[in-house]
Amino acid sequence: MSEVIIATKNQGKAKEFTRMFQPLGFEVKTLLDFPEIKDVEETGTTFEENAILKAETIARLLDRMVIADDSGLAIDALEGRPGIYSARYAGEEKSDEANMNKVLEELTDVPDNERKARFFCALAVASPGKETFIVSGTCEGLILREKRGSYGFGYDPIFFAIEKGKAMAELTPEEKAQISHRANALRKLESELPSLLAGAGKK
């Protein structure tokens, strides 16, 4: 089985990528397997820029092909916030609960029909000496007024997934994989996988 390295230390993302790549014949490794590598400072102004920055930096360090994602929540009534600041929206200490509470508070007076939002994911594939490849995916929804469900991570408990008619955190991992922004981005990537991942585990 070939290896694919995902530039994340987020255990929720790691599990999702593992579920996506294992059926394709790849063993997933993440930055949790490389504790000596420090976090890459995300200085980009878009999800795409941050994904490319992470993928290219880690690919250079490991001299391997690396896939990085940058993803987050964009809420229309908040002019696209939290956006690229989704992970640390409530402060430098990453806290899903604090982030969700801040969003719910900011939307207190926003009526139900104006709570449109979407999850966005940019996936960048970088290899030493090769041009970086990037795709993106979205998932449309609404922001709920209270948390629901016990699956998922991040903003999933307050995100109502229109396609499924449930909060994202009420979906099983298998159901989420049918509609999520990350899965939609990966589906776009799949046709490119044979060439992009050729020899990925042979280093």
User: Positive or negative, the Cα torsion across 147, 164, 177, 59?
Assistant: negative
Number of domains composing the chain: 1
Over 90: is that where the pLDDT of 106 sits? yes
Identify whether 19 is part of a domain. yes
Q: Name the band, by pLDDT with cuts 50, 70 and 90, for residue 10.
A: confident
Numbered residues of the known binding site for substrate? 8-13, 71, 153-156, 176, 181-182
CB 132 within 8 A of CB 126: yes
Q: Which domain holds residue 21?
A: 2-196
What does pTM read for this prediction? 0.88
Average pLDDT over residues 84-92: 94
pLDDT interval class at 39 (50, 70, 90): confident
CATH number of the domain residue 146 falls in: 3.90.950.10
Active-site residue among 33, 69, 70, 112?
70
Q: What value does the mean pLDDT of the chain take? A: 91
Does the pLDDT of residue 194 top 80, yes or no?
A: no
Q: Is 70 a catalytic residue?
A: yes
Statement: residue 115 has pLDDT above 60: yes
Return the pLDDT at 116: 98
Whole-angstrom CA distances from 187 to 20, 50, 170, 203 are: 9, 20, 23, 26
The mean per-residue pLDDT over the stretch 99-109 comes to: 98
User: Does residue 203 fall inside a structural domain?
Assistant: no
What tokens does 13 get?
Answer: 């993302």
> Is residue 15 included in any domain, yes or no?
yes
Residue 21 pLDDT grade (very low, low, confident, very high; cuts 50, 70, 90): confident
202 lies in some domain: no
